[in-house]
Amino acid sequence: MNNYVLWDDEGRKILGKLAQFIMPLDDWLKKKIVDGYTPPDANDPNKFPWRHGGDVLSVDRLRLIDFIEMLARESANDAFLLHRWAMLEDKPLTFCPIECKEDWREARGLDDDVKFGPVLADNAPGTLVGFPVSRSQLYAESVPHLCTAARARKKAKKLDDDNPKHWESFMLDLFKDKCAEWPEPRSNPSSRFMIQLLRDLLYAVLGMRNPIAEPWRSAVLAEIGEFRRPGNVYDRADIARGVAEFKKVLAEKIESKPTPSEVFTTSEVLRDHYLNFGNGPEQKE
Amino acid sequence: MKKVDFVVVGSGGGGGTISWLLAKAGFHVVLLEQGNDFVQQAEAELKPVHAADGDGGFSPQLHDEYRFRVERPDPKRRLRGAYNTFRTDDSGRARPLGGKMGGFTASVLGGGSVLWGTWSFRALPIDFRLATHFRELKQEKLLHEWGYAVSDWPVKHADFEPYYNLTEALFGTCGDREELNNAVTRTTWFRKFKDCAPSFAGAGNWDPSFRLQGPPYPLTPVGYMFQEAMNKAGLNPAMLANSLISPGEPRYQTKYAIGRALRASAGVWPNAQVPKFWCGSENHLWSDRTRDACNMCGYCGEFACWGRSAPKSGTRVTTIRELADLPNAEIRTDSLVYEIMYNSRTRRATGVRYLDISDPDHPKPETLYAHNVIVSCGAVQSARLLLMSGPPGGLGNRYDQVGRNACFHIFGMGSKGVLRKGFQGKVHPEFGHTGNVTAFDYYFVEDTRDNSDTKGMWCKGGTLASAAKKNPLENADALAILPTKAAEEITGVNLLDGLELYARSVEVRVTGDDLPMPSNRVDLDPNYVDEYGLPVARITRQFGKHEVWMAELLKPRMDALFQPYEANGTLTGGKFSPGLIDLFGDHQLGTCRMGEDPASSVVDPYCRVHDVPNLFVVDSSFMPTGLGLNPMKTVVANALRVGTWIVEQSRSSGSEVSY
């Protein structure tokens, strides 16, 4: 997977450490084993080795940073597209095929002030709408900043490798643009980089492209009870069995009605995200 | 100067269908599509990755949710650099429209019929007579005061009936006809209207008998829950009809299904006359090609269907596949049409100008001359193309009607809830496609509120459907922008716990009718242009009083569906949403409405532009009112109807076509 390395050891180490605090897979699993969801076949050490004393479920084991490095390499061509679009923002009619285009526009009552707007229309590569940047550019510019910030914090004894609170605080500050050690906070705020990192980590664990072998590739999907996998084939009997199991749970008598906080962990923000239309995908009819 | 008989612009439900019919009738047809053959390209690109698995080219790499749902630019939804602008009224400046769809149905060979979720409804007879119906209910004046221009269709539901039969055959639509008929005729509104609205029962056949092409899709857990909820609420649920090859069925032979449809239609052709095109045997109409049953892999909907031999129906795997076999037809992808050429002296279209964007960095201008032009780019882009063509006011726009009465369906109206933890892993949203159980009970809703000014009046609603939540990555990706506001809550173990919620989320939603308002329109944006310097479509649209009324009436009804499950703790936080503007895109309708009067419509009853007799518009923009259900089946049926009429009218067999 890693035939061309974009980041040096320091960059990879800091990215990996940060990813562990964004997504502490092993802590989550330990909590789940005590009082969380147990997937079917969880007793099978071949299917769920991380539950049976095998390798720990972690950012390292899932090779998430390698995966993100692969994504960054793949997106290198986006920079050319954005360059073309920057040119079109200056000269929007460059490729217009209409003869006498200015006259044509005038006859139709169109304005002289011509604009090119796919970036605002969320049809451009970027971390957030309105900030066009290719993934490769963003990492190329941000990982050195991340290293600079980490070095400065370490020097100030505020980022000890063995102190989880230090790293948690570093991660939160980066998300909130409150990391004083981050260079160029205005032109390239740390939050933009962190959002991309979080999106890519989610892609790595929920998407189906991470080239590591199964069962590790689908470990997080299996742990959350998502069974959709490439190549699935079902028949009517499978679905009837699924409905029968669902009905059984639906018919269970609940001793005490769960509170919203038990259902939604503790976050109002998270609750709204899952309940509002438009925050998630609405599939087509 | 070489001229083809027909150039068809756009390859979705309308264009992909009519191009086949006309080519099959012997005309020289060129089908232009601005997108590429996305499915073929993705398969070709990714097949080598999978070749080692020796699975006949069925590539699991095609199941890359990020690539097909999250990535921007979205290669299948809209061309790179393509966008629309949006504003809520005509006083303000429009801004580029964001959101996942951005006002586009699809930009691939097969159009929206590749990406759709296969929900297959016939329009109800009353949809063709809505103005008359509201007049009989004494509500027409009120709707007019609210700014609506509700209009009867200038054709009858009966005119569509044989074409609905044929569409269901072409698309292999599965379902239970009797159950669906009952779901309509047992509703409260049906029973009441039958007694009190004189022309209601005679609006068309409320009890079609043509058997669907296979048993309905099986009931899923989410479908079961809402079927039970609907029953508890006194509704009449039915299994959704879907245009896919019914799971577990033998290979589907379209040819024989067409034969069955023709035999079933013997008594229902308009004027009791079988059109020339449909007179012969099915052997002359369709090849021996067959299609596999759906394997319920769960990646359809917004994904293209990657099942072997394409069990999910759309034009790309039906009519366009047949079209490609015909020597007198040609399919050109990556062809971005920007002008319908027009001769003002003869008042006829003479062809199209387009850019060959197979290398999008180096667009090549091309010209194609044609005796007839058929436009089918989706309601937004078709209106844009007409306005970019012909005289400065646009083609067919003598009365300033092009682009008006744009409707988009209240597509996001519905409720979501999250089941308690005991349901983790039990919801199985991966079973098959998105929808499962439907109901027509809210197609019309009576206002029974004591304090309401509209008490006793009927609001036009839509179809209800259960929907599974199928895309965990896309949902999580949307969550990723939250930490800047609440980093402590959306990172760490909280983040991972949150991922579990999606797997036990459930949803029921309404495809709400969006009644036509002339002020809701598409025109050319005065400022913004696309990558090729062409003015983008500007959408002006606001919810009118009817849509607000619909939301008020449906909210308590949706709450009632969730209530039993909330009361016993099964489900938490059922939350109603009245729809979102960023869901523009799917189901765009009405910008070139059909009518007899050129002063209030754009196309005639055969979808021919009033002022330009050899120019047709056959996508969903022809609809005078927007239905309260998925319009795909009606678009395909209409394309068959219009194509059949053209063939009937043609007095010569291959060159100039006269009407």
DSSP letter for each residue of B52-83: GG-STT--GGG--HIIIII-SS-TTTS-TT--
Residue B353: what are its φ and ψ, rounded to 5°? -110, 140
Q: What is the pLDDT of residues B367-393, one digit of tens each?
A: 999 999 999 999 999 999 999 999 999
Q: Judged by CB atoms within 8 Å, which residues 447-486 of B form the interface with A?
A: 465, 467-486
B417 near B572, Cβ under 8 Å?
yes
Q: What is the pLDDT of residue B101?
A: 78
Cα dihedral across residues A261, A266, A269, A270: positive or negative: negative
Q: Which of B443, B413, B436 is nearest to B229 (CA)?
A: B436
| Residue B521 touches chain A, beta carbons under 8 Å | no
Q: Which residues does chain B have within 8 Å of residue A203's beta carbon, measured at their own beta carbons? A: 66, 70, 473, 477
**Helix/strand/coil for A237:** helix
Q: What is the pLDDT of residues B116-159, one digit of tens each?
A: 999 999 999 999 999 999 999 999 999 999 999 999 999 999 99
CB contact under 8 A, B570 and A118: no
Q: What is the largest CA-CA distance in chain A?
A: 76
Chain B closest-CA separation from residue A179 CA (Å): 13
Is the pLDDT confidence value at B49 over 70?
no
Q: Which residues does chain B have within 8 Å of residue A126's beta carbon, measured at their own beta carbons? A: 72
ipTM above 0.95, yes or no: no
Q: Rounded to whole angstroms, how far apart are CA atoms B273 and B641? A: 13
Q: Which of B213-227, B303-317, B438-452, B545-559 has the lowest mean pLDDT?
A: B303-317
Chain A closest-CA separation from residue B42 CA (Å): 15
Residue A242: how many CA atoms within 13 Å on its side-chain side?
25
Search chain A and give the residue with CA nearest B96: A121
The string over B220-246, giving b where at least 16 C-beta atoms fall within 10 Å of a residue's C-beta and e elsewhere, is: bbbbbbbbbbbeebebbbbbbbbbbbb
CB contact under 8 A, A225 and B425: yes
Q: Rounded to whole angstroms, how far apart are CA atoms A264 and A83? A: 43
Helices assigned H by DSSP within B353-405: 379-388
Q: What is the pLDDT of residue A162?
A: 95
Is the pLDDT confidence value at B474 over 90?
no
Q: What is the pLDDT of residue A285?
A: 75
Q: Judged by CB atoms within 8 Å, which residues 216-245 of A form the interface with B?
A: 220-221, 224-236, 238-240, 242-243, 245
End-to-end Cα spacing for chain B: 23
**What's the Rg (C-alpha) of chain A?**
24
| Residue B363 touches chain A, beta carbons under 8 Å | yes
CB contact under 8 A, B502 and A208: no
B34 near B81, Cβ under 8 Å?
no
Chain A closest-CA separation from residue B58 CA (Å): 8
Task: Please state the pTM of the whole predicted model.
Answer: 0.96
Is the pLDDT confidence value at B55 over 90?
no
B315 near B17, Cβ under 8 Å?
yes
| Alpha-carbon separation of residue B112 from A122, B12, B136, B350 (angstroms) | 20, 6, 36, 27
Q: Mean pLDDT per segment of 10 residues, for chain A of length 285 residues?
A: 70 97 97 95 97 96 96 90 95 97 97 95 85 92 97 97 97 96 93 94 92 94 92 92 97 88 77 70 60
End-to-end Cα spacing for chain A: 38
Q: Which residues does chain B have within 8 Å of residue A269's beta carbon, measured at their own beta carbons? A: 482, 485-486, 489-490
Search chain B and give the residue with CA nearest A224: B500
Chain A closest-CA separation from residue B281 CA (Å): 33
Angle at B364 between CA B362 and CA B369, to 5 degrees: 165
Q: Judged by CB atoms within 8 Å, which residues 115-154 of B form the interface with A?
A: 115-117, 119
Q: What is the pLDDT of residue A261?
A: 80
Considering only CB atoms, B493 lies closest to which of A27, A126, A129, namely: A27
CB contact under 8 A, A267 and B489: yes
Mean pLDDT of B621-630: 96
Residue B146 is which amino acid? W
Q: Rounded to whole angstroms, how far apart are CA atoms A42 and A64? A: 23
Q: Which range has highest mean pLDDT (A133-137, B326-330, B651-655)? A: B326-330
* DSSP tag of B459: E
- Between chain A and chain B, the number of residue pairs with CB atoms below 8 A apart is 403
Q: Which residues does chain B have within 8 Å of residue A120's beta carbon, measured at their own beta carbons? A: 95-96, 98
| Residue A87 touches chain B, beta carbons under 8 Å | no
CA dihedral of B491, B494, B496, B498, whole degrees rounded to 10: -110
Search chain A and give the residue with CA nearest B417: A275
Q: Which of B151, B130, B270 is nearest to B595 (CA)?
A: B151
Q: Which residues does chain A have within 8 Å of residue B634's beta carbon, measured at their own beta carbons? A: none
Q: Which residues does chain A have within 8 Å of residue B341's beta carbon, measured at their own beta carbons? A: none
| Residue A115 touches chain B, beta carbons under 8 Å | yes
| B70 compared with B112, residue with greater pLDDT | B112
Q: Rounded to whole angstroms, how far apart are CA atoms A252 and B485? A: 38
**Helix/strand/coil for B422:** helix
Q: Judged by CB atoms within 8 Å, which residues 150-209 of B form the interface with A?
A: none
Q: Edge-to-edge strand order for the sheet containing A115-116?
A: A115-116, B521-529, B535-540, B85-87, B95-96
What are the tokens at B262?
Answer: 């023709």
CB contact under 8 A, B64 and A207: yes
| Residue A33 touches chain B, beta carbons under 8 Å | no
Q: What is the pLDDT of residue A55?
A: 95
CB contact under 8 A, A123 and B434: no
Considering only CB atoms, A207 lies closest to which of B78, B473, B572, namely: B473
Q: Is A43 exposed, middle or buried (0-12, 13-18, 19+ CB in 10 A)?
A: exposed
| A253 compared with B287, residue with greater pLDDT | B287
CB contact under 8 A, A239 and B526: no
CB contact under 8 A, B528 and A252: no
Q: What is the pLDDT of residues B61-107, one digit of tens each?
A: 567 788 888 888 887 889 999 999 999 988 889 999 987 778 888 99
Q: What is the pLDDT of residue B53?
A: 46
Q: Is A236 exposed, middle or buried (0-12, 13-18, 19+ CB in 10 A)?
A: middle
Q: Which of A98, A100, A123 to mutate to test the interface with B (most CBs of B within 10 A)?
A: A123
- Average pLDDT score, chain B: 92
pLDDT band at B650 (very low <50, low <70, confident <90, very high): confident
Q: Is B480 exposed, middle or buried (0-12, 13-18, 19+ CB in 10 A)?
A: buried
Q: Rounded to whole angstroms, how far apart are CA atoms B136 and B130? A: 10
CA dihedral of A220, B116, B433, B170, whole degrees rounded to 10: -150
CB contact under 8 A, B475 and A280: yes
Helix (H) or strand (E) segment spanning residue A140 = helix A135-155
> Omega before B613 cis (within 30°)?
no
| Alpha-carbon separation of residue A270 from A171, A194, A275 (angstroms) | 19, 18, 9
Beta pairing, strands B615-617 & B364-375: parallel
The string over B632-651, giving b where at least 16 C-beta atoms fall within 10 Å of a residue's C-beta and e elsewhere, is: bbbbbbbbbbbbbbbbeebe
What are the tokens at A211?
Answer: 């080239």
Q: What is the largest CA-CA distance in chain B?
A: 74
Q: What is the pLDDT of residue B583?
A: 67
Q: What is the pLDDT of residue B651?
A: 60
Search chain A and give the residue with CA nearest B97: A121
Q: Which of B258, B14, B212 is nearest to B120 (CA)?
A: B212
